[in-house]
Structure 1
Amino acid sequence: MTREEKAVIIEELSQKFQTTPYFYITDASGMSVDEVNKLRRMCFERGIEYRVVKNTLIKKALESLDADYASFNDGVLKGFSGVMFHPESGKAPAQLIKEYRKTVNTKLQLKGASVDYSLFIGADQLDTLISLKSKNELIGDVIGLLQSPAKNVISGLQSGGNKLAGILKTLSEREEAA
C-alpha cells in the first residue's frame, strides 16, 4: 500500500470518526472466511458498517480528532482490528456482537468502543454498552418524569370536579323533592 493510499484511508477514517459518534473496535482473529462473511451480512442487515483496518491507520485517524483516544493505544489497537460504525445507536453494534457470539462464533471480541466520546475498553464492557440508553430515550424518560406530577394534579382536579358536581346535583334534587 502506497503512502497516498494510506493517506486516503486515514482521511476517510477521520471523517467517519468525526461524523459517527458511535464506533466499536473488534477482534475477529481466528475466524474462518464463512464466519466473517456471516458477520458482514449481519452488520449489513442492521445498518452497521464493518471495516477491517490496520491499527496504525486507525491510530493516526484518531490522533487527528479533537477528542483524546490515547487509552486505545495500550490494548485496543493491537492485533487484528475491525471497526463497526453505526450512525444512530450506541448499542446496536454491542447487541450484534452479543448475538453473533451466541449464534455463530465466540471468537469475535470487543476490544473497545466510543459512544458519544465516552470510551469503553475490554470485552467485559459489552453488557454495559447494551444497557446504555440513547440520548432520545433519556430525554423521553425525563419528559415522562416531569409530566407525571402534572398529570396527577389534573386527574385529581377532574375527579374532584366530578364529585363536586355529583354532590351539587344530589343536593338540588333533594331540594326539589322537598
Structure 2
Amino acid sequence: MNRQDKAQIIEQLSEKASRASIAVVTGFAGLTVEHTTVLRKDLRESGVDFQVVKNTLARLALKDTDHGVLCEHFKDNCAVALGYEDPVPLAKALAEFAKKNKKFEIKFGSLEGRYLDENGLKELAKLPGKPELLASVLGTMNAVPTNFVGLFANLLRNTLYALTAIKEQKEKEAA
C-alpha cells in the first residue's frame, strides 16, 4: 500500500470518526469471511460503518477526533465500528454477534469522547434504544393528561350522581 492510499484511508476514517458519536474497536481474528460479511450487513442495517484498518492508520485517523482516547489502546488485529446517531443499536448488534461467534471480541470503545471498556460496552448494549426511550417518555407524558381527564370525568360523574339522588329524594318527598 503506497502513501497516497494510506493518506486516503486516514482521511476517510478521520472524517467518519469526527461525525460518529460512538466508536468501538473489535477483534476479529479467526473469523471467516462469511461471518465478517454477515456482521457488516447487520451493522450497515443499523447505520454503522465497520472497517478493518491497520492500527497505525487508525491511530492517525482518530488522533484529532473525539475518539482520540482510543489511540493508545490499539493492539493486535482490530476493526473499528462507527455509529452516528444512537449508540445503543451499535452496541447491541456487536454484543449479539459476539454471543453467536466466540472468536469475535469487543475490545473497547469511545462514547462521545469517553473511554469505555468491554464491560461498559456490554452495559450500553443492555439499555433500551432511542425509540424505546422516546416511547416511554411519550407514554408518561400522555398518562398525565389522560389521568387528569379521567379524574375530572369521575368528579363530574359523582356530582351528577349526587344531584340525581337529591332529585329523586325531592320527588319522593313531593309525592
Counterparts in 2 of 1:116 and 1:142: CA distance versus 1, 3 Å: farther
Matched with 2:23 is 23
Matched with 2:102 is 106
If each structure's helix is expressed as a fraction of its own residues, which one has the higher value?
2
1:64 partner SS: coil
1:97 and 1:108 in contact (8 A); partners too? no
Q: Provide the C-alpha distance between the structure 2 equivalents of 1:4 and 1:161, rounded to a whole number of angstroms.
A: 78
Matched with 2:89 is 92
- Quote how far apart the aligned CAs of 1:6 are: 1.9
Counterparts in 2 of 1:34 and 1:115: CA distance versus 1, 3 Å: same
Q: Provide the C-alpha distance between the structure 1 equivalents of 2:38 and 2:129, rounded to a whole number of angstroms.
A: 27
Matched with 1:36 is 36
Tell me which amino acid in the other structure corresponds to 1:167. Answer: A
Q: Which residue, out of 116, 122, 142, partners 1:120?
A: 116
Q: Once structures 1 and 2 are overlaid, which stretch shifts more, 111-120 or 165-174?
A: 111-120
Aligned residues: 173
Aligned pairs for 1:1-178 (under 5 A) are: 1-65=1-65, 67=66, 69-70=68-69, 72-75=70-73, 77-103=74-100, 105-122=101-118, 124-134=119-129, 138=133, 141=136, 145=140, 148=143, 151-177=146-172, 178=174
Counterparts in 2 of 1:139 and 1:19: CA distance versus 1, 3 Å: same
CA RMSD of aligned residues (A): 2.7
- Quote how far apart the aligned CAs of 1:68 are: 6.2
Q: Provide the C-alpha distance between the structure 2 equivalents of 1:134 and 1:101, rounded to a whole number of angstroms.
A: 19
Q: Please give the TM-score of this superposition, normalised by the length of structure 1.
A: 0.79
1:69 partner SS: helix
Identity of aligned residues (%): 28
Counterparts in 2 of 1:169 and 1:144: CA distance versus 1, 3 Å: same
1:30 partner SS: coil
For structure 1, the 5+ residue unaligned runs are: none
For structure 2, the 5+ residue unaligned runs are: none
Q: Provide the C-alpha distance between the structure 2 equivalents of 1:46 and 1:5, rounded to a whole number of angstroms.
A: 28
Q: Please give the TM-score of this superposition, normalised by the length of structure 2.
A: 0.80
